[in-house]
């Protein structure tokens, strides 16, 4: 799908670029999503996703000599009569399918010491957006986070 592109950025997947990447995403969300709560949730999901990519790149780089790049873009889409804001990331790190929509739910009531390790961040991402997708294309992890920008407008959610 090729909606209205809002901008893109590419940088090494490293903590040195954390602020640059997240500030880029935040600025575009602020310009495009009037509902503060929905914008906040998308920023939270985006930061968690970027954090996971950077952490995985750091682990990969500790054992190999491979530069991991992170491309981030945002666009507006019209689909099924709805207006969507979409954050897309692409990284050439290790293949990682988060199984969005196909994962076992995280028991947030369970004490942290009793929970399985991992999965809470992915749960947070899925709970914060209307749709999260993943694809592996040409040696790149492609993640998209979708938010219906009109949802909640009538009630100010």
The per-residue pLDDT string of the chain (157 residues; one tens digit each, 9 = 90 and over) reads 568 999 999 999 999 999 999 999 999 999 999 999 999 999 999 999 999 999 988 876 555 567 899 999 999 999 989 999 999 999 999 999 888 866 566 555 655 566 554 567 888 899 999 999 999 999 999 999 999 998 866 544 4
Domain presence at residue 157: no
Whether residue 155 lies inside any domain: the answer is no
| Strand order through the sheet with 140-148 | 4-12, 69-79, 82-91, 140-148, 131-137
The tally of domains found in the chain comes to 1
CB 53 within 8 A of CB 45: no
Distance between CA atoms of residues 56 and 122, nearest Å: 14
The domain of 16 spans: 4-148
**Is 154 a domain residue?**
no
CATH code at position 80: 3.30.565.10
The pTM score is: 0.85
């Amino acid at each position: 799908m090729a909606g209205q592109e809002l901008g893109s950025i590419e940088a090494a997947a490293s903590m040195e670029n954390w602020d640059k990447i997240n500030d880029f995403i935040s600025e575009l969300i602020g310009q495009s999503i009037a509902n503060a709560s929905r914008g906040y949730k998308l920023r939270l999901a985006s930061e968690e996703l970027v954090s996971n990519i950077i952490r995985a790149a750091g682990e990969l780089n500790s054992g190999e000599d491979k530069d991991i790049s992170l491309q981030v873009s945002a666009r507006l889409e019209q689909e099924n009569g709805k207006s969507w804001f979409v954050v897309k990331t692409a990284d050439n790190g290790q293949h990682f399918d988060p199984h969005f929509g196909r994962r076992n739910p995280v028991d947030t009531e369970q004490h942290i010491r009793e929970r399985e390790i991992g999965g809470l961040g992915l749960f947070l991402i899925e709970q914060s957006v209307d749709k999260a997708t993943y694809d592996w294309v040409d040696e790149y992890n492609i993640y998209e986070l979708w938010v219906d920008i009109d949802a909640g407008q009538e009630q100010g959610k």
